[in-house]
Amino acid sequence: MTARDNTPRFDLARVRDVTSGSKRFWSSLEELIDEDGFRAWLAAEFPAASSMFDDPGRRQFLKLMGASLLLAGLGGCGQQTNADHALPYVNQPEALVPGVPRYYATAVTFEGYAQPVLATTYDGRPTKLDGNPDHPVTRGKSDAFMQSAIFGLYDPERSKTPTRQGTSASWAAVEGAFAALRARWRERKGEGLRVLTGATTSPTLIRQMAALAREYPAMRWHRFEPVGHASQDEAMTAAFGRAVSPHYRLDRCDVIVSLDCDFLGPGAHQVSYAGGWAQKRGELAPAQGRARLHVAEAIPGLAGTVASTRLPSDASRLGALAQAIGAQFALPGWTAPELSGAEKRWLGRAVAELRAHQGRSLLLIGTHLDPQWQALAPLVNDRLKNSGATVWYSDPIHAPADGSQSLTALTADMSAGAVDTLIVLDCNPAYSAPGGLDFASQIARVPNRIHAGLHVEETATACEWHLPLSHALESWGDARAVDGSTTIMQPLISPLYSSRSVHQIADMMLGTVDPAPDTAVRATWQQAFGSALGDRWTRALHDGFVTGTTASPVSVTARPPSPPQAGPTRAQGQFEIVFRPDPTVWDGRFSNIAWLQELPKPLTKLTWDNVIAVSPAIASAQKLSNGDIAEVTIGERRARGPAWIVPGQAANTIALFFGYGRRAGGEIARESGYDAYSVRADERPWETRGTIKRIDGRYPLATTQAHHRMEGFDFVREVTAANPRTPPPKSSETFYPDWNKSTFPENKPEHAWAMAIDLDLCIGCNACVSACNVENNVLVVGKDQVSRGREMLWLRVDRYYTGDAENPKSFFQPVPCMQCEKAPCEMGCPVHATVHSPEGVNQQVYNRCIGTRTCSSYCPYKVRRFNWYDYRHFSEAEQAAKNPDVSVRSRGVMEKCTYCTQRIQAAHVQADKENRPLKRDEVVTACQQACPTKAIVFGDLRDPGSAVSQRRRSGRHYVLLEELGTRPRTTYLARWNDGEGGDA
Amino acid sequence: MTAKAEAPILPPNQTYADVTDQLASIPLHFPARRRWLIALLLSSLLLGLLFVAATVLFTTGVGIWGLNIPVNWAFAIHNYVWWLGIGHAGTLISALLLLLGRDWRNSLNRFAETMTLFAVVCAGMYPILHLGRPWFVYWMFPYPATMQVWPQFRSPLEWDIWAVLTYLTVSVVFWYIGLIPDLAAARDRARRRGWQVFFGVLSLGWRGSAIHWLRWHHAYRLLAALAVPLVVSVHSEVSLLFASGTIPGWHSTIFPPYFVLGAAFSGFAVVAMIAIALRSLFNLQNLVTDDHLDILGKVLLATGLMTAYGYVFEVFDALYSGDAHELQTLSDRFFGQYWWSYWGAVFFNFVVLQPLWFRLVRRTPWMLFTISTSVAVGMWLERYMILVTSLYRDFLVSSWGEYHATFWDWAIYAGTIGLFLVPFLLIIRLLPVISIFEEKEVLHKEHEEASNARA
């Protein structure tokens, strides 16, 4: 219920009518003019009081609640805020200056893990999330999911009110329902009560579930994560006899060998591992300690793109490689399987390097592989003396679930009729359960079904009750980051809608009436902090994590894994099909976030859809081309979707991606793609066998990059150990003086902004692109516009291939505006809408732009973006997400990267206020701030000590399209080639 | 009639009065009402389409066209160049040939100038239509803004505004000055009061006195001398719209002459089309003679060959530079997605032109008409080719894209054809399509020469 919906028009006559001649007490005008509406509001806001407000008890009611009602303004601080009721401060709070951002440390969660953030808020509105710089996991860095979480908060399609069978209800009614259910549970001692959540690390939720289990001993708490770490838990249990969480110290690794483990790919660990890995790259030349990386993988991942050697390998062959590694380390019972020449070469080199760098190497085996293979890695790392050095183990960070707590067990119980009440908290199994489980039809057998989530998603429509959850940025909570350190999450804004947090709902299950948002979390930390609660609580909120909660190593020794049952077999007449989360919408949890839909997937550059990724070999055998509709048959089940040929995908492999084909959960979520879960089997969740065939018809796909070869140009350059420098710049004749040799020394700018991007560090993860989108209010244009080549990305990550399609080398190249010193765009504009700043930034004056597009026609880098239509179709909620320091561009206006000019100006203002010059590297652009590998560096060229000046002196420095003489301020560092093509 | 160059271009067996009667009676006693009405109706439909398309364009944005990044210029700019090119022949024929004393121009200059006028109007529409925010078009003018922001005079678009507006102004004045004696003739022959007033006002009190003629000749030649350099400047400037950009396929010094010659080429083609159409519509074979067609055919062939030289040199430039991006663009033009625009231009502008070497072809109206139409199409393809094949694959492979014209692209283009035809049809309905007094001048000269020869 929002107050706006039922606020009647104010009618003075009616008020006079009601008040005349009576001594009626009243507390608000709403009460006078709309008794029904007032009652509804009262019932929602003070359920316990609403019964008292009936006429006979009114006097008593007023006695009890008068104070609360007179403080009805509190409603604005609590459950409901509404722009209609916003009032200016009477006394402005100290230190709160309108328009000046404030920063709060908190976290958002991803698969249960905390992503520690520092949130920027303007006048009470969070507008941007960045990694918490003090937190050991993020060190200020972020990923695409963290950056885009803000859009999840302002998603206009979030569910806004509890519903019962699709019609809205009040929280009072929900509490009534819980009261009835609790009586039932108590009677049956919790028999038949099941709670299903996603993976969680939250101490409070774990405590609440334990409390629930104490109260109703027979209840069971199930956990289900469509991607998650279930198979890793299984493997670790097999290796160590207990569940542990492995932690990799990639910054200590000289050699990393990965069997299908995309440790740089999207996921909870991306920021942490990418940062660690990057420390062993960069200026370190091959053979100077630069880490070497050998990757064998079924489908191209981000780690594969930066590997020294990469081997495309079908899932079954990955097993064979694992077995061969086991045999090489002479594990009892492990025999060497047949390997092809390429496999032998790759494996020989990988194992030799692992052995040569004992204690400084690491074998990683991906969580998509069968746990029997994964269990090999701990033993090999033990043998290589890597344990304790490059890998250590801790007690599990997340609450591990055993087999009886799985979704499989739950579904079995549901079909057996053993489940009486199912409460699904922030989890969507009706969509994401493997199709083989048939969860969606089994859930109908449960008499009492309650779902709590951010959206009215598939599971919500299958449940009697749907309860709207508060977003992580609206609620109190706690969660552990991948290193185990715990963040107490504080709300940055009061809930936008009538929603409650998971902990509030868990408290309601425990019998609390109308639980306060922070009670449960405070209770948890009361136990931990004891009498020091006040100080330590404040400290933890300020820092963004609780000191001393980082996981500590446990001493475990890997057991030799049992020999593989049967050697892996090649598929006969069938293809190997692997399942993967989507790189931008993951398992579907982000599928209603338009910006993540429009974020180009790192390797395919596709937006708005998932595809059936096929290898070039399968495509040519099945006569499939990009966009053809293909049908994949796995056993009895079929899925249809557009085919896409992925260079570098293993020859016999087809990949299906989750997150699309949604049937509910919002307009955007429902729009596109096919449902890969429907053909997923519960017992073989990651790889299976099946066939593919072409179906007549084409499916329109929207990609932001249609061509992927460099066509003989050297946009991305490489250097080798033998030849570690890029060719020196050709001196070209020019009429123009250099910027720092101005004829008028007094005009010499104090700063000369520049950016240098190290292509050796770029992993194409999209963190920079997402950060840029949020920072600069870049608008979503939709699939149709993207397919017409009208995407708005100010910063794009170009992806190129070299070599053959079966195993190409991939390159990423982020391309923001080059900020040319001699900018072709500037001389084309007839109205001075794009001009040069004294500090060397090529500025775009939106207000002055009339949209001739000459600048874009002249731009050799095509980094300018045009508002072909008015793309500003956003709701009030989305409007709140906009950065107030950046104008939102209207129709007919050109826009582009500005080096985050608002940040440069803010830094100038700050320095002026403090009467000091700008500090070295004080200005940080949004992309630079986000980049987990520090590939992007920004700063002042006039300061020889600045990071960007240092990079410019590197031998690897080069200029994109230097021959044009545009003198870009954005330049690149060439990539090291230490693989087979290089001479290392 | 004889084929010798010195031979009289007009058949001498006609009197001055015949000529005046014949031409001035066209608006006064219009001969082809039915056909004219049908043509006007069809053109008005096209004009209506322009209004619809422009309304949609102004209310929703240029997104209705097939534009994108990288091809953010296409139909609007290329049709602008095409129309402006067509507009060139009028001024060339009128002014340049007047100064050079080529008498044959006197049969063609009036409608050629009229054509110029409306072609320039069509062209002039595009820079406004193509703006993202057309309501701010006045920012291109150096008006005294309170913010003290000026247009940027380095921008070829800014020069464009000036070049086109100057050209349009001079063309209008030149056309009108040339019309005055004929307006007076029409006034004198008009019987109905309305026509008398109409032509009377327009003829500015012309009485045909010797001093009038003297002043008139001064003014007319002065304007002609002004107009001729404008022909060169306008299209040179238009070509700089491209040549100033760094884009391969654009960034070339050959562009100004290449564009001017191409413009004259397409302009003469359209003049030939109109001449043939009017001649048959109004039975003007005695004034627009086969000799005129012959000359037009020769000019067409000459300008066509010069344009072909431009093609050759574009290829040579790219090859000689050895620049990888230029070579890439060259290969995109030859074999890329829009190969048809390149080979279409070569075919329609060069191959189809070759029969003009034969006298018979030049003098056969339908043949010349067909070839002229082919040139108009060919030049349209050439402008398309220069724009789209350069932009769709410029430097960075990652930003390569495609362009596909939408319904609205075509609607605006068809609409401008309506915008051209409707006023043109009205003018031929209302005013003498061929300059009466200038024809008589030629006739007079011929008679004199004939009598001199006899003497």
At A8-55, the pLDDT tens digits run 455 555 555 555 555 555 555 555 555 565 566 556 555 555 554 444
CA-based angle B294:B295:B296, to the nearest 5?
90
Closest residue to B61, CB basis, from A813, A870, A963: A870
Query: What's the confidence (pLDDT) of residue A740?
Result: 59
Characterize A9-31 residue by residue with b for buried, 16 or more Cβ atoms within 10 angstroms of its Cβ, and e for exposed.
eeeeeeeeeeeeeeeeebeeebb
DSSP class of residue A54? S
Q: How far apart are CA A530 and CA A538, in angstroms?
A: 14
The contacts of residue A926 (CB under 8 Å, 6+ apart) are: A128, A768, A771, A772, A774, A775, A776, A900, A903
Residue A706, chain B, CB below 8 Å: the answer is yes
Cβ burial, residue B91 (10 Å; 0-12/13-18/19+):
buried
* Alpha-carbon gap, residue A32 to B405, rounded angstroms: 62
Location of structure tokens 């992806």: A799
Q: Which of A791, A792, A811, A831 to mutate to test binding with chain B, by most B CBs within 10 Å of its CB? A: A831
pLDDT confidence of residue A568: 54
Q: Which pLDDT score, from 0 to 100, does residue A358 have? A: 87
Contacts 24+ apart (CB under 8 A), A227-231: A227/A111, A227/A267, A227/A581, A227/A586, A227/A587, A227/A658, A228/A111, A228/A198, A228/A199, A229/A199, A229/A367, A229/A398, A230/A401, A230/A406, A230/A685, A231/A367, A231/A368, A231/A369, A231/A370, A231/A371, A231/A374, A231/A685, A231/A686
Interatomic CA distance for residues A857 and A834, integer angstroms:
13
3-class DSSP state of B35: helix
Half-sphere exposure of B255 (CA within 13 A, CB side): 23
CB contact under 8 A, A831 and B244: no
Q: How far apart are CA A751 and CA A767, in angstroms?
A: 27
Residue A915: strand, helix, or coil: coil
Please list the rounded mean pLDDT of every run of 10 residues in chain A (984 residues). Answer: 40 56 53 57 56 50 49 43 54 74 90 91 88 88 91 90 89 88 87 89 91 89 88 86 89 89 90 89 74 90 90 87 86 83 89 88 89 87 87 87 81 87 90 86 88 90 90 91 90 89 90 86 86 83 87 85 68 84 91 91 91 90 88 89 91 91 86 87 85 89 83 84 79 65 62 91 92 92 90 92 87 92 88 88 91 92 92 84 90 93 92 91 92 92 89 89 87 85 48
Judge whether A669 and A588 are in contact, CB under 8 Å.
Answer: yes
**Beta-carbon contacts of residue B306 (< 8 Å; ≥ 6 apart):** B261, B265
A535's CB contacts (< 8 A; 6+ apart) are none
> What residues 559-578 of chain A have any CB closer than 8 A to a CB of chain B?
none
Q: Cα distance from A732 to chain B (closest Cα, Å)?
A: 15
CB contact under 8 A, A832 and B68: no
User: Chain A neighbours among B 111-130 (CB < 8 Å)?
Assistant: 127, 130
Mutation site, B64, B68, B69, interface A, largest A CB count within 10 A: B69
Q: Identify whether the C-beta of residue A186 lies closer than 8 Å to the C-beta of residue A156.
A: no
- Quote the pLDDT of residue A452: 92
Chain A nearest-CA distance from B88, in A, is 24
Residue B41 class from Cβ within 10 Å (0-12 exposed, 13-18 middle, 19+ buried)? exposed
A887: DSSP letter: P
- Rg (alpha carbons) of chain B, rounded to whole number: 23
Kindly report, residue by residue over B33-67, the tens digit of the pLDDT: 888 899 899 999 999 999 999 999 999 999 999 99
CA distance B303 to A946: 60
In chain B, residues with a C-beta closer than 8 Å to the C-beta of A802 are: none
DSSP letter for each residue of A13-40: HHHHHHHTT-----S-HHHHH-HHHHHH
Task: With CA atoms as reference, report the closest residue to B132 among A142, A932, A864, A961.
Answer: A864
Alpha helices by DSSP H, listed for A590-636, are 594-598, 616-622
Number of H helices and E strands in chain B, helices first, is 16, 0
Under a CB-based contact definition with an 8 Å cutoff, are residues A466 and A499 in contact? no
Q: Which residues pair with A809 in a beta bridge?
A: A802
Alpha helices in A169-310 (DSSP H): 171-188, 203-215, 230-240, 270-278, 302-305
**Tens of pLDDT, residues B89-113:** 778 877 888 887 777 777 788 888 8
Cα gap A29→A906, rounded to integer Å? 45
Of B132, B157, B158, the CB nearest to A892: B132
Average confidence (pLDDT) over B199-211:
88
| Token code pair at residue A874 | 């956003």
**A292-297 vs A255-259, strand pairing mode:** parallel
* Residues A768 and A814: beta-carbon distance below 8 Å: yes
Cα torsion A866, A867, A869, A872 to 10°: value is 160
Q: Closest residue of A to B56, CA-based? A: A869
Please, how many CA atoms are within 13 Å of residue A792, restricted to the half-sphere of its CB? 30
Contact status, residue A571 vs residue A689, Cβ threshold 8 Å: yes
Query: Amino acid identity of B346?
Result: V
DSSP state, residue A145? H
Q: Are strands A309-312 and A167-168 parallel, antiparallel or unpaired?
A: unpaired
Inter-chain touch A854–B246, beta carbons under 8 Å: no
Note whether ipTM > 0.85 here. Answer: yes
A961 touches B at CB < 8 Å: yes
Q: Using an 8 Å Cβ cutoff, are A795 and A861 in contact? A: no
Question: What is the C-alpha separation between A416 and A193, in angstroms, rounded?
Answer: 14
Asked if B36 reaches chain A (Cβ–Cβ under 8 Å), the answer is no
**B60: closest chain A residue by CA:** A869
Question: B214: buried, middle or exposed (CB in 10 Å: 19+, 13-18, 0-12)?
Answer: exposed
Q: Is B320 on the interface with A (CB under 8 A)?
A: no
Residues of B in contact with A796 (CB under 8 A): 398
The answer to whether B374 faces chain A, any CB pair under 8 Å, is no
Residue B161 near chain A (CB below 8 Å)? yes
Where do runs of H (alpha helix) occur along A559-600?
A: 594-598
CB A675 within 8 A of CB A767: no
B60/A862 Cβ within 8 A: no
Q: Is B142 on the interface with A (CB under 8 A)?
A: no
- Residues A793, A769 contacting (CB under 8 angstroms): yes
pLDDT at B455: 61
Query: Does the pTM exceed 0.80?
Result: yes
Q: Among candidates A129, A151, A150, which has minimal Cα distance to A141?
A: A129
- Gap from A925 CA to chain B (nearest CA, Å): 24
- At A528 the pLDDT is 82
B135: nearest CA in chain A?
A: A850
Enumerate residues 6+ apart whose C-beta is below 8 A from B414.
B46, B49, B50
Asked, as a colleague might, if the bond just before A226 is cis with ω within 30 of 0, I would say no
Query: How many angstroms separate the CA atoms of A786 and A779, rounded?
Result: 12
Distances (CA, A) of A280 to A136, A255, A694, B254: 18, 10, 45, 53
